[in-house]
Amino acid sequence: MSARVLNGKELATKIKGELKQTVEEIKKKGIYPGLAVVIVGNDPASRVYVNSKKKACEEIGIESFEYALDENVSEEDLIKLIKKLNNDDRVNGILVQLPLPKHINEEKIILAIDSSKDVDGFHPENVGRLMTGNPQFLPCTPAGVMELIKESGIEIAGKECVIVGRSNIVGKPQSMLLLAEHGTVTICHSRTKNLEEVVKRADILVVAVGKPEMIKGNSIKPGAVVIDVGINRLEDKKIVGDVEYESCSKVASAITPVPGGVGPMTIAMLMKNTVKAAIAQAERKG
């Protein structure tokens, strides 16, 4: 048996095509979506992400404003910039590329972003709304995972869904989204006992831990749907996920590749949130 490949690249291209049409339509009504991207320091991985976000904006017709700050910038100055962007009508979405340098408190920075411009979905208000089933913006990576699952016609209701990793960016919000679709959700982490046994129960497995090829084919249930959120660069420059693709694709019924799986979907969902924010802000102004 060979697993069906859940191609995030293809689906992301389709979503971006639809968004491009939407943007063309709303521009006729005088709504010009804009995304501000703030990057602190020169982390190469962050730079790659920022560039791909800017490229996606260009494809869709969203204006992007980049603010590249020195890694020694003070927390106070970064907050000042965010407040300025909160009040800038050209900016509908604000994204601060994480991780930030050690001397800056990420929590404070996220709190400083106006929740109606928080297109990452990390502001406590947006997290709370997700928890209570009334989301404003869905966090981009978990939302991308859901789109991939749904587009593939995979039923979530009543399924055993296991998430490996409990981060605020992926694991926790992913659990809420699967729960909202009536999945039975278990979150595993570094203290989970008998991890392999829990993973083997999963009908739908989402792995987001940042450990190269940690999950092997013999630890998954035959026919499981495997979503690999990890992206790790090995010493030989090869990019792999948190799942060992070769062995897992022989056991799973469907699997996401790395690269080309969840990554492109994250960016497509960010674009979707930015367009949504632009429309909502225009409506509020009346």
Catalytic residues, by residue number, are 53, 97, 120
Q: Rounded to the nearest 5°, which phi and psi values hold at 104?
A: -110, 130
Where are the strands (E) in 32-72, listed by range? Answer: 34-40, 63-69
The answer to the question of whether 219 is labelled as a binding residue is no
CA distance 179 to 202: 14
The secondary element (H helix, E strand) that includes residue 135 is none
CA distance 233 to 241: 9
The answer to the question of whether 144 is labelled as a binding residue is no
Q: Residue holding tokens 């900016």? A: 91
> Cβ(194)–Cβ(183) under 8 Å?
no
CA distance 46 to 277: 23
The answer to the question of whether 46 is labelled as a binding residue is no
The answer to the question of whether 210 is labelled as a binding residue is no
CA distance 12 to 94: 21
The secondary element (H helix, E strand) that includes residue 97 is none
Which segments are annotated as binding site? 165-167, 231
| Residues of each annotated binding site for NADP(+) | 165-167, 231
